[in-house]
Structure 1
């Protein structure tokens, strides 16, 4: 059994069509068919059911496809590891973050990371589909809420994120250290739209408290929300670490209690993917950055 035969086999599985697979592989259809036939002869079982112009995987074919994916995954892992040995300080990495989190995690961090690792290329993408994109390989590392257990992913706890109420500094609640979550029911609010992860989290807590949040203004950008709070248009529920680290004099941070909305934030990446120097450097820098921010703000 040769790797090229497995490569041909996987191409046919992806296309489910010999002609299209041969075009993709830049080979002739007759050569492709011959290699698949040799593979079937060696294994002693048919890999495809041939039904006229249509084909379908047999049970044996499904087993081989699953194992072939593992084989090529290990080969890619080895290639990445060897390539890294050639240039220990180089490389690139794509990070996925939830919309709005870049303002908390990455503005100052990007500058710090670049100064420490000037040869590394870093790309930050805001997305609501972090887990799906990590699985697909379109992003290398995700910074997101802790997902359900899944053997495909490695999860590294980052920090426990609590939410607080942001109000204008002259708001009646500004002098209070805390306010009951239930009081949001009657407050004039400005929030992210319903499809935003933060809005969904706060909406869940509202439903548990017996009411629905009905903001006067909704916007997708964090800067707009902060500006609306500064102008006294409404209050907003945002991560406490974010509000404390921004340190805006025009905005007072009031604790929400009974309950305090919170969530766990983690780093997630594919378990079968080689974690290169760039990824390790980023995760280490991010972990230290969050710890320093927590110590600075006392959160």
Structure 2
């Protein structure tokens, strides 16, 4: 049994189609079929049920998929560990971040990390599919909303953040210490479009009261939303700590009372992933950043 055969086998498991798997591997379909047949002969059991052009993984195939996937991942981790020793912290660190104010707030983290590891390339991936990208090994670390506990991952709680109404500094509402959730229904709101995680949190909060949010404008950029607020076009709703990361004397954040939207943030990575010194330092920077914001926010 060769590693190459296992890689072929795993690709067929993922595609469930020999021609597609062969195209992905860059080999001919007959060559792929032959290698799978050699593997089946060695194990004395079929790994796939062939039903016309469709295939299905057998129970034996599922077992081999489980063990071979772990074997190849362990090999990749070993290569990464050795490469780290050889090239003195080079390579790429892939980070998935929720596309909202969250990635907008993390500029200081990217700068601090680059100063510590100038030879490590950061690949920032904005996505709402944080969990899936981590599990499928498409990124090394994910930062997003807390989810259901998954034994395949390490899930590190970072913060719990309440939302506030963001208003321009010259507006009459800036005299308010807090604002009722129901009052927001009468305001021209500039929010993320439907389908964004941040928008769903807000919509769910209002819907729990039997209310529906009406927006003046839907805008997918946190930076653009804040510019529109400063221009007096409307108001927006964001985590209160956003102003801690981006102090701006043209904006005021008024806490929302009576069941304000709340979100919990977590950092996650696979339990079986090799974490380089650079990755471990990135995690430490993230934890310190959110711990500082949580402490500052609680003192407001």
Query: Distance in 1 between the 2:180 and 2:74 partners?
Result: 53
Q: How does 1:1-299 map to 2 (within 5 A)?
A: 1-14=1-14, 24=25, 26=27, 29=30, 33=34, 36-49=36-49, 56-100=56-100, 101-104=102-105, 106-295=106-295, 298=299
Contact 2:18/2:32 (CA < 8 Å) preserved in 1? no
Shift of the alpha carbon at 1:8?
A: 4.3
> What is the RMSD computed on CA atoms of the aligned residues?
2.7
1:178-228 Cα deviation digits (max 9, x unpaired): 112121122221211112211110111111122111011221111221122
CA distance in 2, matches of 1:142, 1:59: 32
Partner deviation per Cα, 1:236-295 (whole Å, 9 max, x = no partner): 111111123322222221111111321110111222221122211211112222233444
Q: Distance in 1 between matches of 2:290 and 2:256?
A: 22
Contact 1:146 1:266 in 2 (8 A): yes
Q: TM-score, normalised by structure 2?
A: 0.86
User: Is the CA contact 1:91–1:277 (under 8 Å) kept in the aligned structure 2?
Assistant: no
- TM-score for both structures, normalised by structure 1: 0.87
- Return closer, same or farther for 1:233/1:39 CA change in 2, 3 Å cut-off: closer
Give the conservation status (yes or no) of the 8 Å contact 2:155–2:266: yes
Question: Structure 1's 169 and 71: CA in aligned 2 closer, same or farther, altered over 3 A?
Answer: same
Between Structure 1 and Structure 2, how many residues are aligned? 297
Give 1 or 2 for the bigger CA radius of gyration: 1
CA contact (8 A) 1:92 1:278 kept: no
For the structure 1 residues 267 and 16, does the alpha-carbon distance in structure 2 shift closer, same or farther, using more than 3 Å as the test?
closer
5+ unaligned residues in a row in structure 1: which ranges?
Answer: none
Separation of aligned partners in 1, 2:157 and 2:47: 43
| 1:11/1:25 contact within 8 Å kept | no
The 1-side partners of 2:21 and 2:125 are apart by 33
Q: Look up the SS of the partner of 2:173 in the other structure.
A: coil
Structure 2: distance between partners of 1:55 and 1:210: 48
Q: Classify 1:27/1:155 alpha carbon distance in 2 versus 1 (closer, same or farther; 3 Å).
A: same
Q: Does structure 1 conserve the Cα–Cα contact (< 8 Å) formed by 2:164 and 2:255? A: yes
Distance 1:213 1:88, change over 3 A: same
| Unaligned ranges ≥5, structure 2 | none
Once the two structures are superposed, residues 80-136 of structure 1 have per-residue CA deviations (whole angstroms, 9 ceiling, x without a partner) of 2222222343232121111232221x2222222222222221122222222222223
Contact 2:167/2:230, CA 8 A, preserved across alignment? yes
